[in-house]
Amino acid sequence: MIQSPFNCHFELTLELIGGKWKGLILWHLMEKKVLRNGEMLRLMPRITQKMLTQQLREMEENGLVSRIIYEQVPPKVEYRLTSHGESLRPILNQMIDWGVEYAQDKKIMIACTKQKD
Amino acid sequence: MIQSPFNCHFELTLELIGGKWKGLILWHLMEKKVLRNGEMLRLMPRITQKMLTQQLREMEENGLVSRIIYEQVPPKVEYRLTSHGESLRPILNQMIDWGVEYAQDKKIMIACTKQKD
DNA sequence: TAATGTACATACTAAAAGGTAACTATATAA
DNA sequence: TTATATAGTTACCTTTTAGTATGTACATTA
């Protein structure tokens, strides 16, 4: 057993999905199933290469995302959700739905026009 | 309409519940319905007065928590969830449930022994 | 007169997270 | 020989977040 610094399980979950870009990355992976580094950069124009790699590595270490390297030149690397990552889908969807309602109520504009599902 | 810095509604939701102590505070408010400053300090021995006030003020500003001041000496102030705050309950519960399963799978120990509901 | 209880505020410091810019590797194509 | 495409890495800096320690207000009680 590993001792954790968390006061409750909520904090654990938050730690895993709480990075600046993790929600968006997970959301795209849920939509597209498989994505390469460059595709993600194109899908998220404001993310930097460093942040993308960093967040992906963390999620890989936490077992949310898998990384498959093809031994080619130029390199090819594929990312997809693990089953733990996939099991976050209902939470992501609920958080999006809640955000949509809240934004409507508070008259907040969000840049993204994407539809879920 | 207010323009926001968010890429998607997930980030909006995350911003509102993502502070270091917000989950725990919300969780206690969901359990107890009404809490005073001192009660919260006792329920969360590791939070500091500064962080408690700060997180409560943010949640108040975001319309998740209401603050009622009784004009007495010594002062009396009551906190409770607004309807927006209350509507976060299913998300909190799902995040806790997910964390419990994940922690079991990964053999991670969490300090809290509290039961939800 | 001094201590008590309650709910803060404020200045300062430390740590974590995020961002910028430049660099790396290598087979293939022009 | 030079440019291209892909998927990174690294050093450095800035911003944000969190934590520590101390101070404030004031009616009531001892």
* Percentage of chain B lying above the pLDDT 70 cut: 94
Edge-to-edge strand order for the sheet containing B34-36?
B34-36, B76-81, B65-70
The answer to whether residue B58 scores a pLDDT higher than 60 is yes
Q: Could you identify the residue whose CA is nearest to the C1' atom of nucleotide D9?
A: A50
Across the interface, whether the CB atoms of A18 and B16 are under 8 A apart is answered no
Edge-to-edge strand order for the sheet containing A65-70?
A35-36, A76-81, A65-70
What pLDDT, on the 0 to 100 scale, is given for residue A69? 97
Shortest Cα distance, chain B CAs vs residue A95, angstroms = 6
Q: What is the mean pLDDT of residues B55-78?
A: 97
Cα(A101)–Cα(A89) distance, integer angstroms: 18
Residues in B 86-105 with any Cβ partner in A closer than 8 A: 87-88, 90-92, 94-103, 105
DSSP A5: S
Q: Does this model's pTM top 0.85?
A: yes
Q: Does B31 touch chain A (CB under 8 A)?
A: no
Q: What is the mean pLDDT of residues B92-104?
A: 97
pLDDT digits (tens, 9 = 90+) for A5-19: 788 899 999 999 999
What pLDDT, on the 0 to 100 scale, is given for residue B7? 81
What pLDDT, on the 0 to 100 scale, is given for residue B88? 98
What pLDDT, on the 0 to 100 scale, is given for residue A38? 97
pLDDT digits (tens, 9 = 90+) for A102-113: 999 999 988 774
First-residue to last-residue Cα distance in chain B = 37
What pLDDT, on the 0 to 100 scale, is given for residue B111? 79
What pLDDT, on the 0 to 100 scale, is given for residue B17? 98
Across the interface, whether the CB atoms of A14 and B10 are under 8 A apart is answered no
Residue-by-residue pLDDT tens, chain A, 117 positions: 767 778 889 999 999 999 999 999 999 999 999 999 999 999 999 999 999 999 999 999 999 999 999 999 999 999 999 999 999 999 999 999 999 999 999 999 887 744 433
Q: Is the CB of A37 under 7 A from strand D?
A: yes
- C-alpha distances out from residue B96 to A43, A48, A90, A93, Å: 30, 31, 13, 16
What pLDDT, on the 0 to 100 scale, is given for residue A117? 33
Quickly state the pLDDT bin for B117 (edges 50, 70, 90): very low
What pLDDT, on the 0 to 100 scale, is given for residue B4? 74
Shortest Cα distance, chain A CAs vs residue B109, angstroms = 5
